[in-house]
Amino acid sequence: MEPAKQHLGASLSGLVRVLLLLTALLVLVVAIVLTRYYGPGPAADPARAAADEARQGPPLPGSYHRPATPAPDTATIPRTAAGRQIRYGRALVAHTARYLGPQGSVAQLSNGMNCQNCHLDAGTKGFANNYLAVAATYPKLRARSATVVTMEQRVNGCLERSLNGRALADSSREMRAIVAYLNWLGQGIPKGQKVYGTGLTPLAYLPRATDPVIGKAVFATKCQSCHGPEGQGQLLADGREYQYPPLWGPHSYNDGAGLYRISNLARYVKAAMPFGATFDHPQLTDAQAWDVAAFVNSQPRPHLQTPHDWPDISKKPVDHPFGPYADAFSERQHKYGPYQPIADARPGSSAAN
Ligand code: HEC
Ligand code: HEC
């Protein structure tokens, strides 16, 4: 080969090499960008999963899907006396009214609602008042009573407030069964730990007060078709259990209940309503959830005397709707917001949500 041609050949193959290198680089960059934005993604990224766990919140829009911790399979409940007790507990949670409602077969001590109306899928749905961590976290110190509360006392709290009824004796067959079910759900969860999906979803405060007037319009378009124009709900044909539970009025939860706090109701509704919504596929904006909660909790409902609640008033949640308070904000602002200024005014405030 002549030297000139040789030289041309060498520089050509050099050029090809450079081009190949550039193409490879481009492919690499495109691949990185694609996996970053569209890939099945960092389910395997432990740092991100841990951050998500710590936030205990819904996945951010566009981020990877992280399912709530699943409950144990009911098919694994043993066919023994202990298993029968667990199944009875689950039935009491799912169909409380059939056993303990106004026409209950065991006793008549509650308003006709079911635990499951609020603790969806018998307390197993993610961020819909999920029960999975109950066994691991009770007995627990509660600020509301300033006492250590047992699982039985916590269940009775919901019976007396959310079901506007009367307590079950700790030794009753029904209480033993509900506790057995809660313990079965929590099997394998280490003491003191929560799991992803526990309780309710976090929800940022609005920069304004929640608005029952806007909420009334949200109710009319998004809720009324099932819960009724007067929020009265709809009984099943046999009249012994609700198909759609009441949201206010004489058969609803009373004003001592957890859902009577607008933040709890908004957090529940955001992750669970209209029926079919989930924490990772909500159907309402944050503002719709807050405003409809303000509307629902501005309507009449049974009153409960709670002289022993909040012995330390400085521990009342920001949105506790009844005074006296340890600060100078009005009862109205505590109930409807804006909440952020109240949270900011608290000693050692940050995120009193
Ligand atoms: C498609 C029918 C449907 C729609 C629409 C709907 N819900 Fe519900 N809602 C239900 C059912 C059914 C339950 C009980 C779930 C169960 O028992 O498994 C329920 C339960 C509830 C509960 C807890 C129980 C209670 O009665 O206090 C609240 C609160 C609630 N819904 C609020 C709302 C709000 C607010 C909206 C509108 C944003 C809404 N729902 C829209 C069907 C519906
Ligand atoms: C009207 C809605 C509603 C109904 C009905 C209801 N609950 Fe609850 N329950 C809540 C809310 C809201 C919370 C959490 C907020 C709070 O602490 O006040 C809660 C909390 C609990 C907890 C504690 C959960 C935890 O992780 O700390 C238990 C246990 C419980 N409920 C059991 C029951 C049982 C059993 C029934 C039926 C007898 C029942 N609930 C009926 C709304 C309801």
Which residue do the tokens 């079965």 mark?
Answer: 184
User: If pLDDT is split at 50, 70 and 90, which confidence band does 38 have?
Assistant: very low
Nearest CA to ligand 1 atom 29: 247
Q: Does residue 246 have its Cβ closer than 6 Å to ligand 1?
A: yes
Q: Is 241 helix (H, G, I), strand (E, B) or coil?
A: coil
Length of the chain measured in residues: 353
Q: Is 203 helix (H, G, I), strand (E, B) or coil?
A: coil
Q: Does residue 155 have its Cβ closer than 6 Å to ligand 2?
A: yes
Rounded to the nearest angstrom, the distance between the alpha carbon of 124 and the centre of ligand 2 is: 13
- Cβ atoms of 130 and 119 within 8 Å: the answer is yes
Q: Does residue 273 have its Cβ closer than 6 Å to ligand 1?
A: yes
Please tell me the predicted confidence (pLDDT) of residue 43. Answer: 43
Please tell me the predicted confidence (pLDDT) of residue 214. Answer: 98
70-95 per-position pLDDT tens digit:
999 999 999 999 999 999 999 999 99
Class of domain 74-199: mainly alpha
Query: How many CB atoms lie under 10 A from the CB of residue 21?
Result: 10
Q: Does residue 162 have its Cβ closer than 6 Å to ligand 2?
A: yes
pTM of the model: 0.87
Q: Is 128 helix (H, G, I), strand (E, B) or coil?
A: strand
Q: How far apart are CA 92 and CA 115, in angstroms?
A: 8
Rounded to the nearest angstrom, the distance between the alpha carbon of 134 and the centre of ligand 2 is: 10
Query: Under CATH, which architecture does the 212-344 domain have?
Result: Orthogonal Bundle (1.10)
Mean pLDDT, rounded, for 146-174? 97
Residues 6+ apart with CB under 8 A from 263: 203, 293, 317, 318, 319, 339, 353
H helix or E strand, kind and range, residue 243: strand 242-244
Nearest CA to ligand 1 atom 28: 247
> What's the one-letter identity of residue 214?
I
Rounded to the nearest angstrom, the distance between the alpha carbon of 223 and the centre of ligand 1 is: 7
pLDDT at 129 > cutoff 50? yes
Residue from 88, 113, 118 whose mutation best tests the ligand 2 pocket (most atoms within 8 A of CB): 118
Q: Does residue 158 have its Cβ closer than 6 Å to ligand 2?
A: yes
- Mean residue pLDDT of the chain comes to 89
The answer, yes or no, to whether the previous bond of 324 is cis (omega within 30 of 0) is yes
- φ/ψ of 149, rounded to 5, equals -105, 130
- φ/ψ of 140, rounded to 5, equals -145, 145
Query: Minimum-distance ligand to the CA of 94?
Result: 1
